[in-house]
Amino acid sequence: MQCDDLWRSVHLATMAGGGADYGAIPDGAIAVHQGRIAWLGREAELPADLQPAAEHDGGGRWLTPGLIDCHTHIVHAGNRSDEFEARLNGVPYEEIARRGGGIVSTMRATRAASEAELLAASLPRVRTLLAEGVTTLEVKSGYGLDTPNEAKMLRVARELARVLPLRVRTTFLGAHALPPEYAGRPDDFIHLMCEETLPALVAEGLVDAVDAFCEHIGFTPAQTRRMFEAAAAHGLQVKLHAEQLSDQGGAALVAGFKGLSADHLECLSAEGIDAMARAGTVAVLLPGAFYFLRETRLPPVQALREAGVPMAVSTDCNPGTSPMPSLLAAMNMACTLFRLTPQEALAGATRHAAAALGLQAELGTLQTGKRADFALWSIDRPADLCHGLGLNPCWQVVNAGVPRTPTGS
């Protein structure tokens, strides 16, 4: 049995199955061939005919699937620390948005930036995630809000995967906010996004999925449905910013389209949970936004558990409400703020995050045949990944079988 690389002396947290032990295989080994996992198990049970071209000593470290950040707005220009200060001085987020701040503020900065400038601004944020063991990243548009600038953002997202050891999934979020030139005409704007912008982006090969912001300061369920129908016409899967500030029935709406995920969910209803459970729609929890907005209403984690809805965890990295390029911090917050267990948080950043991107057949667990994306950690137990805040114990990251130091290089 030939393989390209063999990692010995590792404890494997496979994250396969639903047990309470991280799918752990202590004193293990993992073999990689042509970018795929060829074998894994206890080192004492290595096949006698295994012939690796190269061997790596894991030094007794823990090895997990590569982390997956499944909800980010990481490609953007500008800075909104002024709004952070305003919120701390008592101005609500909704009021900041109505004054022309929020998403529209970032839209102005992003429209003014060239592709090269957007890439240069995004790279440090992405490299920070790579240094924490992230191997797959979702990137949303939504700060261009017209055809050329939405395309510009998504081209930069694609470029990230060309210049960094990273897999990128792109999401068209044209229905993110209403640009000033369409003030008072939201239906006309949705028509533009559906009939001009989305077809142009699809023709350029820039879109993997479609998202929308269904909220009283965003778009109505009817307008969101139009976006989803346009996505379906192009054979694209959908996801949704749902029930963050109010219950608009968004979770049930996206579940009705067999959507990949419903994200935020602080105001999620029992009806929404039931619809997600029946559709297999993933709940993406975003504790960074909860923290930065100083929210007090928790997403219904226990009800999601009881319904069997898979829960992913992501950074929501964005310039206004979650300027946090750290998935390890998001995992800690998911435990401390939302009361996920460390096992649930790690599953949320691996197995369930893969499902939230439609990549569960390829990524998210350590299993034979899957893509060889994984990370090695200098920790005593997997719970350490959620326990320390501001610590990064990542020792090595492997992308499609290629090892690198955890610096994004």
- Could you read off the pLDDT of 266-318 as tens digits, one per residue? 999 999 999 999 999 999 999 999 999 999 999 999 999 999 999 999 999 99
CB atoms closer than 10 angstroms to residue 58: 21
231 CA to centre of own chain: 20
Length of the chain: 409
Closest CA to 375 of 407, 329, 337: 407
CB within 8 Å of 13: residues ≥ 6 apart: 22, 23, 24, 62, 63, 64, 65, 346, 366, 382
* pLDDT value, residue 18: 67
* pLDDT value, residue 409: 41
Helices 147-163, 103-112: crossing angle, 10 deg rounding: 70
Backbone angles phi, psi at 236, to 5 degrees: -100, 145
CB within 8 Å of 349: residues ≥ 6 apart: 67, 68, 69, 312, 313, 314, 327, 330, 331
Tokens matching residue 249: 């029935």
Instruction: Give pTM, 2 decimals.
Output: 0.97
Q: How far apart are CA 316 and CA 58, in angstroms?
A: 32
* pLDDT value, residue 95: 85
* pLDDT value, residue 20: 73
Closest CA to 328 of 133, 36, 136: 133
The DSSP letter of residue 66 is P
Q: Which residue ranges of the chain lie beneath pLDDT 70?
A: 18, 407-409
